[in-house]
Amino acid sequence: MEASEEIRRVVQRWLTANREGDADAVFGRISDHAGTLAIGTDGDEWWHDHELAVWRRQFDELGGMPVRWDQIEAWEEGTVGWAATKVTIDGPDAAYDARGTYVLHLERGEWKVVQVHWSLPRPNADVWGTVLPVSLEQLEKIIQRERPDLSKDLAADGTVTIVFTDIVDSTVLTARLGDHAWLELVQRHNAVIRDTTAAQGGTVVETQGDGSMLAFSSARRAVACAKAIQREIAAAFADASPPIRVRIGVHTGDALHEADHFFGTTVNYAARVAGHALGGEVLVSNLVHELVAGSGTDIGFWDSRDAELKGLEGTHRLFAVDLG
């Protein structure tokens, strides 16, 4: 695919013929192929083959198309070319900004138009009833507004509690359920994670595939959320076959954060803890255990074990939360 000066000049001459009312030049450029299509700005202007006679009659009655343009973007590859331009149509009472797109086919050494489409842009608010982004600048502002404010997830001492969740045996489940059923399952799972995290005052920092990363300013709220997630997942997928089980890991520490993400050793530690959890289990680091054990809450533990965490030296004591 390459920019085409030849196509640009063909379209420019064709537009000039429209403006000057040269019907022979305009319609001589139109292909007689059965698939040729002309689309106008009126809802009924959708013309094939012999219907192009309607277009010719319009052209004759108007004496041409009073159109102006600035720049024509044109491309070609092999026997196919296409172009687009922003134009202004000078009506009897007002001028209208419009857009034109053109598809051309090389026929016996000459470029012929096989599709032309004219449209008058209308604001999205008029068409859809809502304002939608229409430029990169607007999109960037929206993304900035939607980024979570992670500062609220930092404790007074600057620490954060990170929670990782992960669906166990997701590869096997995908193969058994099929892609469409698996996608539906993941969407339901993500909704549970999102709603439960919000209810516990945390933030969903990231969701990727079958896993998620959550952040809390309080270790107690993080563990309470992890327990609630296990309870809500069990209820939401009570009838699922095969059963859906989630493993969860929790760790507290200092973490670097920038824009909409946390990173650093604390994040890696929490991910490693989650990797050692069993399906349906909430596993926490020794520090989280110290922060929440005997804190007057209903958080208890039923088991502990030592584990080697990939990339971290030594053995680490991990504790399984009592979900009862």
Tell me which of 77, 99, 119 is where a domain ends. Answer: 119
Q: What is the pLDDT of residues 227-249, one digit of tens each?
A: 999 999 999 998 888 888 999 99
Domain assignment present for 131: no
- In this structure, the answer to whether residues 157 and 115 fall within a common structural domain is no
Domain assignment present for 142: no
Tell me 259's DSSP state. T
- In this structure, the answer to whether residues 93 and 215 fall within a common structural domain is no
- In this structure, the answer to whether residues 222 and 110 fall within a common structural domain is no
- In this structure, the answer to whether residues 29 and 177 fall within a common structural domain is no
- In this structure, the answer to whether residues 160 and 291 fall within a common structural domain is yes
Q: What is the CATH number of the domain that holds 209?
A: 3.30.70.1230
Q: What is the CATH number of the domain that holds 92?
A: 3.10.450.50
Per-residue pLDDT at 152: 56
C-alpha pair distances (Å), 100 with each of 67, 71, 73, 97, 116:
11, 11, 11, 10, 7
pLDDT above 90 covers what percent of the chain? Answer: 42
What residue numbers bound the domain in which 254 lies? 149-321
Domain assignment present for 130: no
Domain assignment present for 21: yes
What are residue 138's phi and psi, to 5 degrees? Answer: -65, -40
- In this structure, the answer to whether residues 231 and 285 fall within a common structural domain is yes
Place of tokens 């609220």: 152
Mean pLDDT of 24-45: 91
Average pLDDT, the chain: 86
- In this structure, the answer to whether residues 286 and 154 fall within a common structural domain is yes
- In this structure, the answer to whether residues 220 and 79 fall within a common structural domain is no
Domain assignment present for 46: yes
* Cα–Cα dist 275/250, whole Å: 11
Domain count, the chain: 2
- In this structure, the answer to whether residues 313 and 198 fall within a common structural domain is yes
Tell me which of 119, 136, 161 is where a domain ends. Answer: 119
Q: What is the pLDDT of residues 145-171, one digit of tens each?
A: 555 555 555 555 568 899 999 999 888
Give the predicted TM-score (pTM) of the model. 0.54
Provide the sign of the torsion angle of the four alpha carbons 176, 177, 183, 187, taken in this order: negative
- In this structure, the answer to whether residues 304 and 206 fall within a common structural domain is yes
The more confidently predicted of residues 320 and 136 is 320
Domain assignment present for 133: no
- In this structure, the answer to whether residues 183 and 266 fall within a common structural domain is yes
Domain assignment present for 129: no
Per-residue pLDDT at 13: 95
- In this structure, the answer to whether residues 189 and 317 fall within a common structural domain is yes
Mean pLDDT of 34-62: 88
Domain assignment present for 127: no
- Write out the DSSP string of 48-79: EGGGHHHHHHHHHHHTS--EEEEEEEEEEETT
Q: What is the pLDDT of residues 247-261, one digit of tens each?
A: 999 999 876 555 456
pLDDT above 70 covers what percent of the chain? Answer: 87
